[in-house]
Copies of this chain bind each other. A is one copy, B any other.
Amino acid sequence: MPKERTVETVIDHIDRNRDRYVRELIELVKIPSISSSSKHRLDVRRCAEYLQHELERIGVRKTRLFETDGHPVVYAEWTENAGAPTVLIYGHYDVQPVDPLDQWVTPPFEPDVRNGRLYGRGSVDDKGQVFAHLKAVEAWLQQTGTLPLNLKFLFEGEEEIGSANLDGFLRDNAALVRSDCVVVSDTPMLARGLPSICYGLRGLAYLQVDVRACASDLHSGSFGGVIGNPLHALVHILDQLKDQSGRIRVPGFYDKVLPLESDERAALAALPFVEQQVLTDTGAQALLGEEGYTTLERLWARPTLDLNGIWGGFIEEGAKTVIPATAHAKLSMRLVPEQDPAVISTAAASYLRSLAPAWATVDVQVLHGGQSWYDPHTDPTFDLAAAALCKGFGVERIAYIREGGSIPFVRTIADATHRPCLLIGFGLPDECAHAPNEWLDLDNYHKGIRSSAYLYDELSQLPTLG
């Protein structure tokens, strides 16, 4: 059968099995694989085992769970096409926490289909995207008994908590992950109907600040006026993190930031990006940001600092007159080339501690970090991926984008392999990743499966490492 005909047979199969693919994804999303929560440790493992079993079921028979100091790595390979190139597919099976739970319309781990959307924690980030590849592989193997190239699969369980053990895994298993190209599906498309390849990710430095002033909570009537209140110290310290214009005041924060080149600024400006859409998607009243940069530049190519959580004292219904003993905050910085997360974390921790009043103790913990990543996307591999996306989605063009989020693995594998990383995600910007009511557009899920099937065909043209 001619090659073109073969691909179309696979695509036909995918189109006929659309509903089954949704039902099967629902089973995966049901597993509460929250990597940050020690009480979900066994659920995370169960999710890894579920994926391992799925890989074997669809015909990828060489599979293994690699233990780490944290959650296991699911590794698998199908390498029966001698002489063909080898592609490594990366995704993650862990998910974000679910609070605030009361804002979910349906429970986060009871996936629910409404209006062509699958609601559930991890539906888009990243279980739906992982499954898009598994379904494409399944279709190839069911229809043709083979794949047009060799595939390796690496699904980690710690992406949402900074991939702390992945570097060690990659170091210990360098030969295993050796490949001609890496494919990552964990990024959004710029807009509906516009499949996108992402060529830049921000890095991350995540800290927790703990302020302590006295031994236990005190009555604010009996002690108010003479005892330092850690909540006041905390809000004062946190308010020193940025100046009035939003500029981050951590000493040295901007020192290593690479400026944007004018040709990239022009390319970003040409993207069909609608600012109003961000307001609609978020319900925000206005867009803000750093003077002298566009919204996309602020999101993709400029570093930021956000408080992610704050707590202390009495936070229940009613009125309790207490001076608490402690106050706490979590904050993270999104970093860009060439900011180093370790250097930035150290600088931020020192700065935070330097703001402590004499009567309070300020402790700073570094919770996690990750490097930013940037690829000039000039390698011809990008053109092959673009062609697959156009066919998979039935469109004429794709967008080259960057992403404000962080996937620490990408930088690690790119540095290790010196091969292109294709960040091809099938999510939409408003699918509430990390927020209540996360959802996956089921039409994009289907087109993602189609695109993956085309992608394997296109990438079979890659030169091999030899």
Contact = CB atoms under 8 A, between A and B. Distances in A.
Contacts of A328: 315
Contacts of A285: 213, 228, 358-360
A168 to B, nearest CB: 19
B435 A334 contact: no
B433 A219 contact: yes
A274 to B, nearest CB: 13
Nearest to A240: B239
Contact of A309 (B103, B324, B325, B334): B324
Contacts of A306: 220, 224, 229, 231-232, 321, 323
Given A310-B235, A359-B288, A304 B435 contact: no
A434 interface: yes
A186 to B, nearest CB: 11
Contacts of A298: 225-226
A327 interface: yes
A277 to B, nearest CB: 12
A245 interface: no
Given A36-B319, A218-B434, A285-B359, A310 B308 contact: no
A157 interface: no
B162 A319 contact: yes
Interface centre among A37, A220, A285 (most CB of B within 10 A): A220
A405 interface: yes
A238 interface: yes
A258 interface: no
A227 interface: yes
A321 B222 CA distance: 38
A221 interface: yes
Given A36-B317, A99-B314, A215 B302 contact: no
Given A221-B403, A299-B225, A299-B226, A321 B307 contact: no
A96 interface: yes
Interface in A73-105: 96-97, 99-100, 103
A232 to B, nearest CB: 6
Contacts of A202: 221
Nearest to A360: B285
B319 A217 contact: no
Contacts of A229: 306-307
A348 interface: no
A376 interface: no
A310 B310 contact: yes
A298 B228 CA distance: 13
Contact of A282 (B37, B38, B218): B218
Contacts of A325: 283
A321 B437 CA distance: 16
Nearest to A432: B216
Given A206-B319, A316-B37, A359-B284, A435 B309 contact: no
Given A228-B284, A359-B284, A405 B289 contact: no
Interface string A251-286: 000000000000000000000000000100011111
Contact of A330 (B36, B319, B405): B319
Contacts of A318: 36-37, 97, 161, 367
A275 to B, nearest CB: 9
Contact of A284 (B227, B236, B238): B227
Interface in A313-360: 313-325, 327-330, 332, 334, 358-360
Q: Which 5 A-B pairs have the closest CB atoms?
A: A215-B283, A221-B405, A36-B318, A309-B313, A231-B307
Given A219-B434, A227-B278, A322-B435, 5 more contacts: A232-B239, A232-B307, A308-B320, A309-B320, A309-B322
